[in-house]
Amino acid sequence: MTNLRKSFPEKTEKEIILICRQFYSYFCDLFLETFKTLTISRKTMLKHCWLDEDALNLFNQLASENQSCMVVMGHLGNWEWAGNTFSICCRHQLYVIYHPLTNPYFNNLIYKMRTRFGTRLIAMKDTLRDMLNHRNELSATAFIADQTPLPDRAYWMTFLNQDTPVFLGIEKIALKIRYPVVYVSIKRVKRGYYSMRAERLELPLPGSKVGVLTELHTQMLEKDIRKQPETWLWTHKRWKHSKN
């Protein structure tokens, strides 16, 4: 509720409560949908989560050019199903950046769910090294961009009306290896059904100020959150650090 009130100061308390209730309904479905990944078939997966025509054409075009890419997204909609759908539909080998869990049982369970359709995982600390090791492979490396970095290593910007620390790693890696960056948005069409759209982002020119690409994809995520606020992960501590 604190996150919602600070993010939407223009909304009434009644509107905030409604978003909160809608979020918890979606959140419960998200748990069930995620665990369904253990048994769902490819055909059923694509029935419930799909790339729109423009998104599929974009990734097919990159593949025809033998061009690897970086995918940027947020904790919006069902990001787990989005990875499954990409691995089923696209020619790129999908690598997802993740934080290994300390609990070995749940870490193995999550690993099994995320890799069932061919997705591979990269621990965050190994991101650049592994991407360089895969340079001869047609790959797409997916980053969840709305996680919280340490404040002294972060790029600070306004996100949902609040001073927010943002990782610069996506921008730094993109500029270093000159991979195209594609922003992916996940829309909940109805209960249990999601569509994905994609947009290629222009890399900043050499000498541009730091943060241009980071601000762009973060602002795009905020725009999507405002369209469907109940499908973003409001329970995580996105603003646990202060700028001071």
CA–CA distance, 147 with 68 (Å, rounded to integer): 24
Q: Strand 181-190 and strand 193-201: pairing? A: antiparallel
Q: What is the pLDDT of residue 99?
A: 82
Per-residue confidence (pLDDT) for residue 109, from 0 to 100: 87
Mean pLDDT of the 154-178 span: 94
Strand partners, 156: 165
186 pLDDT band, cuts 50/70/90, is very high
Reported as a single tens digit per residue, the pLDDT across 126-139 is 898 999 999 999 99
Q: Where are the domains of the chain?
A: 2-231
The span from the CA of 79 to the CA of 63, in Å, is: 22
Instruction: Give the pLDDT of residue 207.
Output: 79
- Measure the CA–CA gap between 123 and 121, rounded to whole angstroms: 7
The pLDDT of residue 244 is above 80: no
pLDDT confidence of residue 182: 98
Query: pLDDT digits over 43-61, tens only?
Result: 999 999 999 999 999 999 9
Dist CA 45 CA 25 (whole Å): 21
